[in-house]
Chain A
Amino acid sequence: MLDDFLLRAALAGLGLTLATGPLGSFVVWRRMAYFGDATSHAAILGVALAFGLGLPIYAGTLIVALAVAVTVASLSGRGHASDTVLGVIAHSALAFGLVAASFLSGLRVDLSAFLFGDILAVSRTDLAVIWGGAAAVAGLLAWRWQGLLTATVSEALARASGLDPRRERLVLTLALALTVAVAIKIVGALLIAALLIVPAATARQIARSPEAMALGATLTGAASVLAGLWASLRFDTPAGPSIVAAAAILFLASLVLRRP
């Protein structure tokens, strides 16, 4: 039954929301939106490297996303991180990725598939990687949930309770890199951050606890995936942007429905 490309696409998108719901909530709580952008844009460089070196795409994006995320995290740990530093890293990594890919003309790489995603071309192997990666992220966050939440509320409180806030930051960095590597095929490097932030922002309007917000973000994300895929078929629009557009419409609706 997995022969149907549409079913595979839906399953891939739903799998991804397992990771983006809780992780996106942390991205919103810790104001890491631009950090997510930097990591995902850099993934394009990973795609180019993977083609150049003959590595699997997922491995290339994961390595570069991880390298950028760790660099940015360690800079911010030393008080360097400003929008400027993140902007420099995000956009130069994207530019170098595009330039590097142009040298690989022999391979006829279609980069737009990685910039905007190509969820309708997801294979069974992709599906396994996506679900595996998303489950790993969700599991990692669930395992460290209490510590992550404490460090998000206050690094000082976390430290006084015997936790190491740097380790919690590293967990999020790792989860972000893994999510980017997995998501690049679905929504593409340019829109990954949107899939992290928009459903979480929607869930915030209704949620009264951190856990409810994480769950709500996953459900909202899942609804966006299904609505976006439907719209993509119905109106013949690109799937990745359609999913993000659906998420944005749900966000607008949540502003109307928000609890006082």
Chain B
Amino acid sequence: MSRDKPLISAENLSVRHGGAAVLSGVRFAIRAGEIVTVVGPNGSGKSTLIRALIGLEPAATGTVTRAPGLVIGYVPQKLHIDASLPMSVRRFLSLPRRVSEAEAEAALARTGVPGLGARPLAGLSGGQFQRVLLARALLARPEILILDEPTQGLDQPGTAAFYRLIEEVRRESGCAVLMVSHDLHVVMSASDRVICLNGHVCCEGTPRVVSEAPEYRALFGLGTGGAFALYRHVHDHDHEADAAHPPHAPHPHDCECDHDHA
């Protein structure tokens, strides 16, 4: 596949829930091997964007184009398995494509949860469940891995470990990664691009890579082995100011947006 042809792209995409516009005029593209992180406050339409790109949400206007035959590995934000459905980890990995015992065990080992196959899905911890979801996504040998707030509910070391795992997986397989993050200030250091979403694309940019700046790592990514980077929210604030923000401070809406928020 040509590197220039996007795996998934959206032109002027709008999505409505009932009468309300959740997304409007979104332009998006991700190419082979790219890592793109979408950040935005709660209710900014991040998950809706992901769902629209996968084809779960119809577009009110605009178009979503996926490369023909594109293999997507999807890790949803949450997955509720009805208590009436008996489902082991092993059985779950074989949905929808049946995989061999060896393949299943290798995928579990790769994502750091070896030997979990016989356990019922309902009995897993949050961290184990995320890794099982990732293992299942990888078994499809995806060209693009789409993760919707994969670290929600994980603590900081857990988040860092999960991000490192994603980076390793990407290095090995070369797949593109599209990730949604609920934290405006912390994104994966390996991101090629960060997109700030708030019903529309506010701004895009490259994150500052923490691993090249040990003093910032000491400030923001203590003990995370360089998995975190600070996404410099464009132009106006320095790192001292940023450090003073509580982790979930309201989105400082200071990027230059070519629209109003009426």
Contacts and interface: CB of A to CB of B under 8 A. Distances in A.
Q: What is the interface of chain A mostly: helix, strand, loop, or mixed?
A: helix
Interface residues of B, number: 26
A74 interface: no
A204 B84 contact: yes
Interface stretch (B20-28, B33-41, B73-81, B234-242): B73-81
Interface in A205-242: 207-210, 212-213
A146 B99 CA distance: 12
Contacts of B87: 153, 209-210
Contacts of B1: none
A154 interface: yes
B51 A156 contact: yes
Interface stretch (A43-51, A52-60, A157-165, A246-254): A157-165
Chain A, interface size category, equals 20 to 34
Contact of B96 (A31, A158, A208): A158
B115 interface: no
B82 A31 contact: yes
Interface string B56-67: 100000000000
B86 interface: yes
A98 interface: no
Contacts of A113: none
Contacts of A209: 86-88, 91
Interface string A177-219: 0000000000000000000000001001001111011000000
Contacts of B140: 161
B86 A208 contact: yes
A157 B95 contact: yes
A153 B56 contact: no
A163 B55 CA distance: 11
A176 to B, nearest CB: 17
Contact of A159 (B55, B91, B92): B55
Q: Which of B56, B79, B86, B92 has the most CB of A within 10 A?
A: B86
A29 B82 contact: yes
Contacts of A146: 94-98
B30 interface: no
Contacts of A126: none
A92 interface: no
Contacts of A152: 85
B76 A157 contact: yes
Given A159-B55, A161-B72, A153 B95 contact: yes
Interface of B: 51, 54-56, 72-74, 76, 79, 81-82, 84-88, 91-92, 94-98, 120, 140, 146
Interface of A: 28-31, 146-147, 149-150, 152-163, 201, 204, 207-210, 212-213
6 contacts: A29-B84, A146-B97, A156-B51, A157-B76, A158-B96, A207-B86
